[in-house]
Amino acid sequence: MAKLPIETEKIIEQYGPSLNFPPKDGYPGRDEPDKVINTHCCFCGMQCGIKLLVKENKVVGFDPWMEFPFNEGRLCPKGVQRYLQNNHPDRLLTPIQRIEGKGFSPISWDHALSHTVSEIQRIQSAYGNDAFQCYQAYH
């Protein structure tokens, strides 16, 4: 059974979750985006079409993209909330590494990549190529 490196309260203090977090200056007006960007929801392979409303280079909302042939403006519950995560305080912007007894520390992308490669190689040389598997979680 995996053991947490530090108490749960400290992890939450550092990385969230910050539930029901309102933006610092309140929710921006939906009627004044600088730009509307037709793009795709990035959460899963369905790639539903979505119109992101952008103000001062930040996503502030979305509109349905009715003409997009696959989803015709509809989004699932994950896609509906996706735009809120761009500027959410819990969003990780750098890799972090677990250090026993100290919790988590930010590390560089180069360090994260080389550490990941060396750990995959260590596991595979000790237990065989099929001993390593990757699991991707969206939330």
Q: Enumerate binding residues for ligand SF4 (CB under 6 A).
A: 41, 43-44, 46-48, 75-76, 78-79
**Residue 3, token pair as written in the block:** 């053991």
Q: Give dist(CA 128, CA 121) in Å, integer.
A: 10
- Closest CB to ligand SF4 belongs to which residue? 79
Question: What's the min distance (Å) between Cβ of 81 and ligand SF4?
Answer: 10
Residue with smaller CB distance to ligand SF4, 60 or 83: 83
Question: What's the min distance (Å) between Cβ of 135 and ligand SF4?
Answer: 17
Residue with smaller CB distance to ligand SF4, 46 or 117: 46
Burial 7-38 (b: 16+ CB within 10 A, else e): eeeeeeeeeeeeeeeeeeeeeeeeeebeeeee
- Tell me the torsion sign for CA atoms 99, 17, 139, 29: negative
Residue with smaller CB distance to ligand SF4, 47 or 123: 47
Question: What's the min distance (Å) between Cβ of 9 and ligand SF4?
Answer: 31
Q: Give dist(CA 123, CA 103) in Å, integer.
A: 23
Question: What's the min distance (Å) between Cβ of 71 and ligand SF4?
Answer: 6
**Residue 20, token pair as written in the block:** 């029901």
Residue with smaller CB distance to ligand SF4, 39 or 112: 39
